[in-house]
Amino acid sequence: MIRYALACAQGHAFEGWFAGSDDYDDQAARGLLSCPVCASAEVGKQIMAPALAGSRRRGGPDLPAPARAAMMEVMTKVRRHVETHFDYVGDRFAREARDIHEGRSEERGIYGEASRQEVKALAADGISVAPLPPEPPKKIEVN
């Protein structure tokens, strides 16, 4: 997996994870990339510092607490919306997504589990999929 810093023409910065640089190039050429903020399809790679191994713990970007809280709130809302309004299909996700895409199953939003290979095969066939935001961290009860 490779992580790229991306930005849209409006200047919204975000990151994307790809199986490799060829995967990014393929998705960009097919117009499958878009900004999560404004949905612009004008997306490009940004200059990034290389990730170097070290003893420092890597916990993601250092965001100010209010920005981190806002991001977590939005991710939680997205996850809850999907869980409330989409059909959970479990480990049948890849098969059901393909059936919907090919018209063999009812058009609807679904979520479930798929292997990395299944996701790559869906993307290669032009079937759009996206990871569900993670569960919000559990608050630890203090005695």
6-38 pLDDT tens trace: 998 888 888 888 887 788 888 888 888 888 888
pLDDT value of position 22: 84
pLDDT tens-digit profile of 83-135?
A: 999 999 999 999 999 999 999 999 999 999 988 899 889 988 888 888 888 87
pLDDT value of position 65: 79
d(CA 26, CA 16): 14
Model confidence, pTM: 0.53
Domain boundaries, the chain: 1-47, 62-137
d(CA 60, CA 37): 20
pLDDT value of position 49: 59
